[in-house]
Amino acid sequence: MGKFVFILSILMFLTLPGQPSEASEHPVSLELTDSIIKISTFYNGTTLEASGIIPADADVLLRVSGPKENVHLKVKGKVAGVLWMNKSDAELDNTPSVYMLYTPEKSSKLLETQGVDMGYSALAKGITIKPESADKAFIFAEYVKLMEEAGVYTVNKSSIHYKDVENGQKSFSATLTIPSKMNAGEYMVEAVTVENGHVLGRSEKKLTLELSGLPKVIAALAFGYPLLFGIMAVFIAVATGLIIGTLFKGGGGSH
């Protein structure tokens, strides 16, 4: 009997507070059509499909994020009372180079769910802004604007679509946009499932962008042999100038 009570109490202990760990034991299924994107000569960004299966009553949020880095900013201000110029410095530590959010229709409530940890307000909490005296909320908001203009920070509302409800489950899909401004590197695509105000589970997939062909050769030369690369660039420029100059002389292009 004592043994039975002991086993029962261990089982109760394991089941009672264990919601988050239960969720992570059953992560969301997440698939990407490509996990490696090659950046070749005529690359102009691309798209890829993210899909998976979640419980029929649940919702899913997707996030594409880049490696974290420290960003140095110039904050504009008025000089001599009239001229707008780069006035002071600010540093944002732990900032993702890319932050793209994909949400289904009722996104605002989902983003407020405790533990979701997605969206700009969640992002702001993880970033340290220096100097201490700076207006942090203002600098963060302006930084987001700057990144949005470059196309590497986006919130894509109503971009996740559901279908095929079967056996209490449904499939989701979203088209992820990979802009050409996303540099070669490793990125993370994450999915979070939310149901009735609780996080059910998470899943993540690695997405690699790598240079190939001509861009790879040029980057290797520019960073590996910079002096040689500079001299080569000058020679090719001079040669092109001479060739075009000679061609025009021959063709009598002056009239």
Partner 1 sequence: MIHMYLPIAGNSVNIFLILGLGGFVGLLSGIFGVGGGFLMTPLLMMFGIPPTVAAASDSNQIVGASTSGSLAHMRLGNVDIPMGVMLLIGGIAGGTVGVQVIKLLRAMGNADFLIAITYVIMLGGVGGYMFWESLQGLKKEKTGDSAEKVDPVVEKTEGKSLIQKLPFQYKFEKSGCEISMLLPLGFGILVGILAAIMGVGGGFIMVPVMVYLLRMPMHVVVGTSLFQILFTCVNVTIMQSWSNHTVDFVLAVLLLLGSTIGAQVGTAVSKRLKADQLKIMLASLVLLVCVKMMAGLLMTPTIMVALKGGH
Residues forming the site for partner 1 (CB under 8 A): 39-45, 71-76, 79-80, 82-86, 89-90, 138-139, 142-143, 145-146, 149-150, 180-181, 183, 211, 214-216, 218-219, 222-223, 226-227, 229-234, 236-238, 240-242, 244-246, 248-249, 253-255
Nearer to partner 1 by C-beta: 13 or 248?
248
Cross-strand partners of 144: none
Nearer to partner 1 by C-beta: 77 or 197?
77
Beta strands in the chain (DSSP E): 31-32, 36-39, 46-55, 59-65, 68-79, 83-96, 99-102, 128-130, 153-156, 161-166, 169-178, 185-195, 198-211
Minimum Å gap between C-beta 149 and partner 1 is 7
Nearer to partner 1 by C-beta: 56 or 75?
75
Minimum Å gap between C-beta 250 and partner 1 is 11
Nearer to partner 1 by C-beta: 9 or 86?
86
Contact 66, 179 (CB under 8 A): no
Amino acid at 5: V
Helix (H) or strand (E) holding 4: helix 2-15
Whole-number Å distance between alpha carbons of 54 and 162: 10
Q: Which of 119, 115, 108 is nearest to 19 (CA)?
A: 115
Contact 101, 154 (CB under 8 A): yes
Minimum Å gap between C-beta 100 and partner 1 is 17
Minimum Å gap between C-beta 80 and partner 1 is 8
Nearer to partner 1 by C-beta: 14 or 146?
146
Minimum Å gap between C-beta 238 and partner 1 is 5
